[in-house]
């Protein structure tokens, strides 16, 4: 009898696994609508199937359908209340919804968000994402509603115990938010020393940009480029040079390298590099060259208003 039942069930099990595999592939390809259309009927037919419920929640989350995502993640918590990642995803969806509603509605969600992240961190002593969420939560929440730099630092310390680079990045973010720039710079630099990832470099670069220290940002970009060989770094150097009217020769050479190595996968189209070149030539009072490159930018992306404005400025000089 047992063998007979297995034989009867096997085709259905195979179809189910095939559906889940297909949905995973669609999620990896960022085809979220297609993934939703495929997994939703399966969840309706199998309302207690953990993996498929999570997948449906993920399809909604990727499409910023926060109410729908919350429903699925809350269902997960009902079925598996002691699974840390379920609590984390539920808290995350609630948090994203809070960002989209009015302040009164957002405040009504604060307790549930906090409880979900705390539960996730309690259930899994090594859950890095839950601790990052708590760092951000306590850092940005007003003190009158429970926000606290001290609490945020407590979870940054927990992160540091699990992963030094995460801990240092978290402390950098906290001190930057708290306007303690020397400490923020210190921890972002420590993150680079320990981790050295693109993310680590970008945090320090962005920090220097916000601090209006473009020369320091360019220096870090050059170090990052030697380490990671990213074409995007050349564009960023050119952008900073053009925006701040500094190190113009370096800015030009970086932008020409960016253009010569440009691929369709690059984040910034060639038009933006040509726009930055036009800005640099305008700084150098070389009107003919500036017009040449702004016209190249407009030819590629004629709908970008800032390009047209730049052309008018060049022509008026």
Which CATH code, of 1.20.1260.10, 1.25.40.10, 1.20.1640.10, 3.40.1170.60, is assigned to 128-223? 1.25.40.10
Tell me which CATH homologous superfamily contains domain 230-317. Answer: Tetratricopeptide repeat domain (1.25.40.10)
Query: From CA 156, how far away is CA 161, in angstroms rounded?
Result: 9
Contact 230, 224 (CB under 8 A): yes
Rounded CA-CA distance 211/231 in Å is 24
pLDDT tens, residue by residue, 17-57? 777 888 888 889 999 999 899 899 889 988 899 999 999 99
Say what the pTM is. 0.86
Whole-number CA gyration radius for the chain: 25
Whether 10 shows a pLDDT value over 70: the answer reads no
**Mean of all residue pLDDT scores within the chain:** 92
Is it the case that residue 91 has pLDDT exceeding 90? Answer: yes
Q: What is the mean pLDDT of residues 302-306?
A: 96
The 10s digit of each residue's pLDDT in 219-272 is: 999 999 999 999 999 999 999 999 999 999 999 999 999 999 999 999 999 999
Residue 89 has pLDDT above 70, yes or no: yes
Q: Which two tokens stand for residue 64?
A: 């910023």
State the CATH class of domain 30-124: mainly alpha
Q: Where are the domains of the chain?
A: 30-124, 128-223, 230-317
Q: What is the pLDDT of residues 134-193, one digit of tens each?
A: 999 999 888 767 789 999 999 999 999 999 999 999 999 999 999 999 999 999 999 999
Q: Comparing 30-124 with 230-317, is the CATH topology the same?
A: yes
Which residues, other chains included, contact 261 with Cβ-Cβ below 8 Å and sequence gap of 6+?
231, 234
Closest CA to 220 of 235, 206, 238: 206
What angle do helix axes 181-194 and 164-177 make, rounded to 10 degrees? 160
């Amino acid at each position: 009898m047992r063998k007979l039942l297995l034989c009867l069930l096997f085709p259905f099990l195979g179809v189910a696994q095939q559906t889940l595999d297909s949905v995973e592939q669609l999620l990896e390809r960022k085809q979220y609508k297609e993934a939703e259309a495929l997994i939703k009927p399966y969840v309706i037919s199998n309302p207690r199937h953990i993996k498929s419920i999570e997948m449906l929640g993920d399809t909604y989350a990727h499409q910023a359908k926060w109410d729908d995502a919350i429903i699925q993640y809350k269902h997960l918590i009902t079925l598996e209340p002691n699974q840390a990642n379920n609590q984390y995803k539920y808290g995350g969806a609630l948090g994203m919804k809070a960002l989209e509603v009015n302040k009164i509605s957002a405040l009504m969600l604060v307790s549930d968000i906090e409880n979900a992240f705390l539960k996730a961190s309690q259930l899994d002593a090594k859950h890095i994402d839950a601790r990052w969420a708590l760092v951000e939560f306590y850092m940005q929440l007003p003190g009158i509603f429970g926000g606290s730099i001290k609490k945020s630092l407590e979870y940054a310390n927990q992160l540091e115990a699990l992963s030094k680079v995460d801990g240092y990045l978290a402390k950098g973010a906290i001190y930057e938010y708290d306007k303690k720039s020397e400490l923020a710079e210190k921890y972002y630099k420590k993150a680079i020393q320990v981790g050295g990832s693109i993310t680590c470099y970008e945090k320090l670069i962005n920090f220097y940009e916000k601090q209006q220290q473009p020369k320091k940002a360019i220096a870090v970009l050059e170090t990052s480029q030697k380490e990671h060989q990213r074409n995007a770094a050349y564009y960023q150097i050119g952008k900073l040079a053009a925006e701040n009217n500094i190190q113009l020769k370096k800015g030009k050479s970086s932008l020409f390298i960016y253009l010569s190595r440009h691929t369709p996968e690059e984040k910034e189209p060639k038009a933006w590099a040509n726009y930055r070149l036009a800005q640099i030539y305008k700084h150098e009072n070389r009107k003919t060259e500036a017009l040449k490159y702004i016209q190249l930018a407009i030819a590629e992306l004629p709908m970008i208003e800032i390009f047209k404005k730049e052309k008018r400025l060049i022509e008026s000089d």
